Structure 1
């Protein structure tokens, strides 16, 4: 009975996340207002100091290497040392599916509408770099023993969030691209949780600790992002205005979503050994 409830929670979360991904795409990529909100955050980020810009360029250029190489190595080491082979298969499988899905969505299935909000019409939704970063964090999180999962969630979430904000600063992606990548990885993570339960992974004793502080961070970020969104929305016809507010709103949105997903993932997996 407990296993069925666990599968139900993961399934419900996956459906909600998939629907949120679609809504995010339809608003921020297919509508004029959504593109304006995203574009102002994108342009506002370009005004960052040159030192920060150059530093983020060096860091982001190494994200695939660090995330794929370091993430896979850490996942393999933890999985093999702790003999958690089922977790290892699920962790790597979910990451591979998420990365492939992101590339197919961006280059094959999704298109950016020509609304007149911007001249940049190439679709960048969702971000491949953010997907790789989040997938690497999730893989390490899954193979970690339950008592270490809260720490893994915090470190993996921080890595994904910093990567996402850096992608906006470096002008590689808009905020919605990053948020969508997190959603995509979260969907695959939920499917991974279902796979572990169906595979008969034992229940954690004791369950992992909760991460209330991340919920507070997510809530504060959501409020700040919502305020920025309202300001941009009511001034949507004032082209080029409130760029720094838009950038701050985009950054706090990435922080909020990343923190919420780390906390929610920890809560969903807290009873899985």
Structure 2
């Protein structure tokens, strides 16, 4: 009986798939998660940077002008994300006449949400470094994981030519959700980064299964084939992603070197660094994911 080989290289008009890159991607995301946990939770320096950003949010954003929109967003977030995901699942099921792929995307979403709760409450601990009063572990953020994982699932369910546009929407939505938890003082920037990485890990795993399941459907002809696949959409994520992360590093370095910790200027600077970091991390990861999926599902000519 002849066995079928996994579709690593397709013929004309089919995607060139190399699962090793997906596995390496998942390992890289897991490594980044571990590095973030070690750097921001297990070390005093990282805890201090994270805590100063949280204190900055409490000092400068503890007003109705900032808190009311954040509370409204987080109050509507589960319902909005669930509705968007349900619409995407229904549309994909009707278009493909297949429930397997929507089920895979939903499984990835559920695994991300469940693993965040497991990591936060069972696996990981936050050692007390005498830096903050709150010693209970909050890494990763559950609210942010829910939002980011839902957007990743919507991204997976979109046709490849729509994914660059979906990535822009998902990245900005995830950034808004993470920013809202930060403004309210519920989570530190590192907690939000960890949530993005959890969503990215399960998104890669679910994406690989989907691409292997339906390699033909995941084929597309490149950025010029459809307006929603234009390179400009990914650029809208790369710019705030790179500038946000770089800006956060520069602001944090300048503030730490020039101002006394806990001073008014220091708290404001760390607040700015935290906001830049959150927006930059969400934008960068969704841009990277969009570029990776575009590369792995592009048609061979």
Q: Give the shorter-chain TM-score range.
A: over 0.9
- Structure 1 residue ranges without an equivalent (≥5): none
Task: Confirm whether residue 93 of structure 1 aligns to residue 107 of structure 2.
Answer: yes
**Closer/same/farther in 2, CA of residues 4 and 148 from structure 1, 3 Å limit:** closer
Q: Displacement, 1:200?
A: 4.1
Return the alpha-carbon distance in structure 2 between the equivalents of residues 86 and 207 of structure 1. 26
Task: Confirm whether residue 161 of structure 1 aligns to residue 185 of structure 2.
Answer: no
Return the alpha-carbon distance in structure 2 between the equivalents of residues 7 and 32 of structure 1. 38
Select 2:140's aligned residue among 117, 120, 126: 126
- Structure 2 residue ranges without an equivalent (≥5): 1-7, 10-14, 224-228
Q: Displacement, 1:64?
A: 1.9
**1:262 corresponding residue in structure 2:** 286
CA deviation string 1:166-205 (max 9, x = no partner): 1100111111101100001101111112212332422413
- Greater gyration radius: 2
**1:250 corresponding residue in structure 2:** 274
Return the alpha-carbon distance in structure 1 between the equivalents of residues 212 and 259 of structure 2. 49
Task: Confirm whether residue 29 of structure 1 aligns to residue 41 of structure 2.
Answer: yes
CA contact (8 A) 1:60 1:166 kept: yes
In angstroms, what is the RMSD of aligned CA positions? Answer: 2.0
**Closer/same/farther in 2, CA of residues 266 and 10 from structure 1, 3 Å limit:** same
The range that moved more, 134-143 or 80-89, is 80-89
Return the alpha-carbon distance in structure 1 between the equivalents of residues 51 and 246 of structure 2. 20
The range that moved more, 83-92 or 245-254, is 83-92
Q: Displacement, 1:235?
A: 6.5
Q: Classify the secondary structure of the residue corresponding to 1:62.
A: helix
**Closer/same/farther in 2, CA of residues 4 and 117 from structure 1, 3 Å limit:** farther
**Closer/same/farther in 2, CA of residues 237 and 115 from structure 1, 3 Å limit:** farther
CA contact (8 A) 2:17 2:297 kept: no
TM-score for both structures, normalised by structure 2: 0.84
**2:297 corresponding residue in structure 1:** 272
CA contact (8 A) 1:7 1:197 kept: no
Return the alpha-carbon distance in structure 2 between the equivalents of residues 9 and 237 of structure 1. 45
CA contact (8 A) 1:106 1:124 kept: yes
Q: Displacement, 1:4?
A: 7.4
Select 1:77's aligned residue among 90, 106, 113: 90
Q: Displacement, 1:240?
A: 4.4
Return the alpha-carbon distance in structure 2 between the equivalents of residues 102 and 235 of structure 1. 37
**1:221 corresponding residue in structure 2:** 244
Return the alpha-carbon distance in structure 2 between the equivalents of residues 135 and 74 of structure 1. 15
The range that moved more, 46-55 or 162-171, is 46-55
CA contact (8 A) 2:171 2:237 kept: no
**Closer/same/farther in 2, CA of residues 141 and 194 from structure 1, 3 Å limit:** same
Return the alpha-carbon distance in structure 1 between the equivalents of residues 99 and 20 of structure 2. 24
CA contact (8 A) 1:33 1:233 kept: no
Q: Displacement, 1:238?
A: 2.7
**2:3 corresponding residue in structure 1:** none
Q: Classify the secondary structure of the residue corresponding to 1:29.
A: helix
CA contact (8 A) 1:37 1:233 kept: no
